[in-house]
A and B are shown apart, each in its own frame.
Chain A
Amino acid sequence: MNDIHIRLESVTKEYPGPAGARAVLQDVSADIPRGQFAVLVGRSGSGKSTLLNLVGCLDHPTRGRVLLDGQDVAGLSETELALLRRHRIGFVFQFFNLIPTLTALENVLLPLELTDQSGSRARRQAADWLRRVGLGDRPEAFPEELSGGEQQRVAVARALVHQPGLLVADEPTGNLDLDTAQSVLDLMDDLCRREGATLVMATHSPEVVGIADRVFSIRDGHLTDEPLPAASG
């Protein structure tokens, strides 16, 4: 199947700073089996986005290993990584998700084009996903003509359109009202349950925490399996 098993082994991530390197993640280990819906909570600045970047192979750990289906990501070339992301991973970022010079529909089409699916069938598929996130009437809009929440929904459609085995989402519902947030969440949950995709999501919202299989929380660079009361506010 398409789903992915994630494993972090003693991962440390440091950022260079004016006063030397600063560790955001320290010796973090975790194991997320296929098809699981895992949620990441923590205060702002605790390192959620950093961890998601590592899981999504967008960044390399300073120390330790990230394994996807048992394979060390560090051993893959840039091109192999690109192909991996192209075919098997979907992303929803916290900010600036879209290509500003492509329309909403074209943004959703992009992952299909990259996997050599084009033509009218791909267009129908992309339009269909736009409709599912509630933007079926705005395919020709450019990102700057969309609100923050609308942009985020286009990003969700783009992340799901090629049915990835791993979906990495960084506060995908942060800008949405409760109802819309719920329907977007349902779409992702659906992918996870029906297709058996693995879903890793950073969030502050308690609704999401409620439906997750598993909740991780980050604090002071360490990862624990239980949610902290402070995070659900």
Chain B
Amino acid sequence: MSRLLQRAGLRFLLRHPWQYALSVAGVALGVAVVLGVDIAAGGARKAFDASRELVVGRATHQAVPADPFLADEIYTRLRVELGVAAAAPVLEGRIRAGGETFSLIGIDSFAEGPFRDYLDTGADGIDLTALLTRPGTVAMTRQAARARGLSVGSRVPMDDAAAPTALEIGALLELDDARSRGADGLLFADMAAAQELLGRVGQLSRIDLILDADGEQRVKDWLPQGLELIPTAAQASSLDQMTRAFRINLLALSLLALLVGAFLVYSTLSFLVVRRRTTFGTARSLGVAPGQLFRNTLYEALLVGVPGTLVGIVLGLVLGVGLTSLVLRTVDDLYFRVQVQSAGIPPLSLLKALLLGLGTSLLAAVPPAVEAARTAPRSMLTRASLERRIRRQLPWLAAGGLALAFLGWLLLRAGTDSLVLSFAGLFAVVVAAALCTPPGLAALMAATERMARDGGGQVTRLAARGVTASLSRTGVAVAALTVAISTVVGVGLMIASFRGSVDQWLQQTLTSDFYFAIDEAFEAGGSDVDAFVAELAEVPGVADVTRSQRRRLTTGDGQVRLWAVDPGSRDLTITFLEGDRETAVASFLDGTGVLLSEPFARKRGLVVGDTLSLPTPDGPRSWLVTGVFIDYSSDQGSAMFSLEHYRSTWNDPGLQGIGIMAEEGQRDVLRPRLESFLAAHAGLEFAANAEIRQISLEIFDRTFTITRVLQLLVGLVAFLGMLSALQALQLERIRELSVLRAVGWTPRGLIGLILGQTGLMGLGAGLLALPVGIILAALLVFVINARSFGWSMDFSLEPMILGQALLLSVVAALLAGAWPAWRTIRTATAAGLRDE
């Protein structure tokens, strides 16, 4: 490669510092978003893995009961009768202390050795298990203690439990940083102490085991009915599946940002190439070979890509910290309890970001590089003929766009089971829209010109013609803006549809006036749930009481959420998607059938008429699926039984929720009466209908915060693209505009012309983006969301969102045009005329 040509290229970039900076910023933002999301997703996963590893330890199997708990005498028998040495009892539960909810894990000091080695010795090398035998004494990690200002001997007041009024920190665990991140919300206690704290004397959650194939068979044969032996590996993968859709969705959005960033590189480099056609022509006439110009353009792409990627990595690290906490919060809201600080930076993520940034820059440079290589020596080709060529290519662009859209459609059809294929299809549609933008823009401008001719708008006509006359530049600018605005519309409509559906569902489902939520501390405090319900029913002003229990059942293929409901004297407040309501309700009441939530049915491919088999204390049992209902409470879905049937099947007398319907006009007087119960019982939370709806929608909005942040970033990158392309356009036209000034145009006239033009482009982008955005939203609502989470929802075409998008498009374009306009009139006419 010619060193002089390299130098010439670098100087050209430096002579257009804004152009250069914008494209570097485009790459940087794209890379930053991808890296940030990668770090966040990886962090969430690592945090989760770490906390799982801490809890599960080295167990290969777990013996879990179909009942909520198993008697600890089974553990003793397992050891004694069967002689299994590597077995450890575990009791898990939640506990509130110091204003915080912890996961309390009860363990047997003597059995722990092979499972969780970090419990062997404490921070100071003391045998910590011994320390824990005192009642009310717990251990936490040194890092968690430091973060809360605690040390050995500190006492943490319990918020609402019965027996001891405070927890004492008996020991600190010494863990490396990675593991301690997963253990932030964990407390360990000796089994007896834990049973007492949780009100579960004589009970265990499960038994951890280390078994070989032979041992596995023996334990399986021995286990009493109602207990299942489950390999821990199977659980891990089902938990991984749980968050997979969530992670893929984030990844797709981040890749979209990179795509728009690549667009920016493409637009800048093609500007650089078009603008230097005479230079390249001269070089070619001096004997520079086409290949040299090609390589030269790729080299210039690296001049953009290398700093862009490096800056992007730095930004990405910062963004990663913010996104990680957003992701963790969402995971915490939706999936499982994580209490972790952000995890470190995986070197693999950095490498990925580096390769992605450089690769994308180089790839985006290929079309302009080909264009550069094809420059004829001392080309006689004028700008006008370049534009003529572009206009001749318009039908091909449109055809290519349609073909790509078709490909996208095929991918979406083929990808019924594959989220990756579905997103590939979605991307194809986005790129197709970008390809169709220049022809669409040309058509729109032709229509504008016709309208202006009939209406006599001279400046509008000139402006519209100007847009068409430099379609090679305006096409790119408008395509960038179209992609961005359609993403804004698509994601916006999707969220609005989703939120609307959730809100409607909440209204239909939450029919009681007040709710009590009950947690473990309730029974631990010695209260009896059924007596409490009876007491409530007697309160004056109470018309009706509903009860519900939720529980996760560990099965061979992942966890199943059971939802047991007693609707009281009212009808079931669920909306059926499938199944005949009457038969479904009848089978629900008599226990012959099970009702499935939509995500559950979709994920397991179950329809009305199929059977669902679940473990029970009396061995596995099957139910006929008689109905599928709408439910947005979890994307894992749940299986619904009547409370009565659930209690008799799973021997679980617990309740998690109580709904109270007030008598006509009694709502306001009832509230203080109900609130008085809060003081009398531990482990109660109280809320009115409206508050629950409020909280639910808040969680919903929080879930989509990250989506909105990413959407904003994509929009920002696209805005940079628009700015860069418009600036390129104005730079190219400085000579032309200077001539206009030389023949007597006023600066105001020029500003009007430039802004008129950019405004028209913004309007064009907005108009093209609306149908594309609606298509994207429909794909997100009906295809992606359905496949990711198993939810179907009503599509709502919010006119507000469409209007805002159109406005945004025009304002962004005007903003992007303002600076070049200002620059143009600031450039001295003589200097402008001299410009090549």
List residues of A whose CB falls within 8 A of some B CB. Answer: 53, 56-59, 78-79, 81-87, 89, 91, 93, 96-102, 106, 109-111, 113-114, 118, 144, 158
Contacts and interface: CB of A to CB of B under 8 A. Distances in A.
B378 A82 contact: no
A215 B257 CA distance: 64
B8 interface: yes
A218 B12 CA distance: 39
Given A59-B380, A99-B279, A144-B834, A83 B8 contact: no
A85 B287 contact: yes
A106 B289 contact: no
Given A79-B290, A91-B378, 7 more contacts: A58-B285, A85-B377, A91-B285, A102-B7, A111-B286, A114-B287, A118-B3
5 contacts: A78-B290, A82-B290, A99-B282, A114-B286, A144-B834
B181 to A, nearest CB: 52
B11 A101 contact: yes
Interface in B268-315: 278-279, 282-291
B11 A85 contact: no
Contact of B288 (A101, A106, A114): A114
A91 B287 CA distance: 11
Given A58-B378, A85-B377, A96-B836, A102 B8 contact: yes
Nearest to B374: A78
Interface in B804-836: 834, 836
Contacts of A85: 284-287, 377
B15 interface: yes
A4 B285 CA distance: 17
Nearest to B13: A101
A111 B8 CA distance: 14
B290 A106 contact: no
A87 B287 contact: yes
A59 B278 CA distance: 15
A129 B378 CA distance: 23
B640 to A, nearest CB: 72
Interface of B: 2-5, 7-9, 11-12, 15, 278-279, 282-291, 376-378, 380, 834, 836
A58 B377 contact: yes
Q: For the complex, would chain A's binding face be called helix, strand, loop or mixed by DSSP majority?
A: helix
B615 to A, nearest CB: 74
Kindly list the 3 A-B residue pairs having the minimum CB-CB distance in the complex, ordered from nearest: A86-B287, A101-B11, A85-B287
Given A58-B377, A96-B282, A82 B287 contact: yes
B282 A97 contact: yes
B289 A79 contact: yes
Given A106-B4, A110-B2, A82 B376 contact: no
Contacts of B376: 58-59
Nearest to A89: B287
B12 to A, nearest CB: 5
A97 B378 CA distance: 9
A145 to B, nearest CB: 10
Contacts of B289: 78-79, 82-83
A79 B286 CA distance: 12
Contacts of A93: 282, 285, 378
Nearest to B835: A144
A111 B287 contact: yes
B377 A113 contact: no
A82 B284 CA distance: 7
B2 A98 contact: no
Contacts of A81: 377
A118 to B, nearest CB: 8
Contacts of A83: 287, 289
Contacts, number: 86
A140 B509 CA distance: 80
Contacts of B286: 85-86, 91, 110-111, 114, 158
Nearest to A144: B834
A93 B282 CA distance: 9
A71 B288 CA distance: 21
Given A59-B376, A113-B3, A99 B290 contact: no
B284 A53 contact: no
Nearest to B10: A101
B2 A100 contact: no
A88 to B, nearest CB: 9
B539 to A, nearest CB: 86
Contacts of B290: 78-79, 82
B809 to A, nearest CB: 35
B310 to A, nearest CB: 25
A12 B291 CA distance: 30
Contact of B2 (A84, A96, A97, A114): A114
A189 B93 CA distance: 100
Contacts of A118: 3
Nearest to A112: B4
A113 B7 CA distance: 13
B7 A106 contact: yes
A218 B108 CA distance: 107
A79 B284 CA distance: 10
A71 B571 CA distance: 96
Nearest to A91: B285
Contacts of A98: 282
Contact of B4 (A87, A89, A97, A102): A102
Contacts of A56: 285, 378
Nearest to B378: A58
Nearest to B289: A82
A73 B521 CA distance: 94
**Interface-central residue, A59, A85, A97, by most chain B CB under 10 Å:** A85
B287 A99 contact: no
Nearest to A15: B380
A54 to B, nearest CB: 11
B300 to A, nearest CB: 12
A91 B284 CA distance: 11
A175 to B, nearest CB: 15
A202 B377 CA distance: 19
Nearest to B284: A82
A53 B285 CA distance: 10
A113 B4 contact: yes
Contacts of A96: 278, 282, 836
B378 A101 contact: no
A100 to B, nearest CB: 6
Nearest to B2: A113
B274 to A, nearest CB: 15
Nearest to A88: B287
A158 to B, nearest CB: 8
Contacts of B12: 100-101
B4 A100 contact: no
B282 A101 contact: no
